[in-house]
Structure 1
């Protein structure tokens, strides 16, 4: 079940989390959530809520959560981009085979603008990348 309280619970939101200390109220046989901090994954800030005190271990746990969450968000964004390619393929097939004239009229402009925007960003980003090293098929021999 749950680990022994007190421990921290992170209620995630877009830019981080509200951090709660979970405490066991044995008298009422329930868990209490005490808001102790706000964690921001963009800048790494940990803001204490109210007059709460964080132990060194709790601060370290929040810092570890921030690092893990940043990695998770980056992986999610990369996966979203991969899924977008599949969505574009499915949408293209739907437009080709089943979309009615009103669908085409309603979607043409926003889709074309979004695709052009993405194309411009991709072309710019690709132009900023270093050129790949050419493999001319020759091997260096220093005999």
Structure 2
């Protein structure tokens, strides 16, 4: 920690991101050495949209509010990133079509054609099924 950062600049909580959510730590410095301690208080599951206290901990109202706020922000962020990935995929498919038409050699096309066709077929089936469900 540099001199410009003080203990009051630290957040009250730290969320260690995991594939399925996060591990929540409460940040404290109330020890004789003024050392930063990270005390695990909960585990968040973003797939289920819930959280559980760690061990025999009892979460405070502030803990629960911080976790809820983080969970809401994380969910919104993931949705935004997912949409950006779809937009990027569309661009990649367009560039791949251009590459196949203008640059790819026979060996290049032999290497990728089956895998690309199966991936596109899978995506097409999902999109057609979802559209049909929406139209019902």
TM-score where L is the length of structure 1? 0.79
Bigger radius of gyration among the two: 1
Residue matched to 1:78: 83
Higher mean Cα deviation, 43-52 or 82-91?
43-52
> Deviation per CA, 1:47-80, whole angstroms, max 9, x where unpaired?
1112333211111110121112111111211111
- In structure 2, the CA distance between the partners of 1:55 and 1:102, relative to structure 1 (3 Å rule), is same
Distance in 2, Cα, partners of 1:128 & 1:2: 55
Distance in 2, Cα, partners of 1:6 & 1:125: 42
Cα-Cα RMSD: 2.2
2:101 to 96, 100, 103: 96
The gaps in structure 2 that reach 5 residues or longer are none
The gaps in structure 1 that reach 5 residues or longer are 132-143
Matched, 1:63 2:63: no
Matched, 1:120 2:125: yes
Total equivalences in the alignment? 131
TM-score where L is the length of structure 2? 0.83
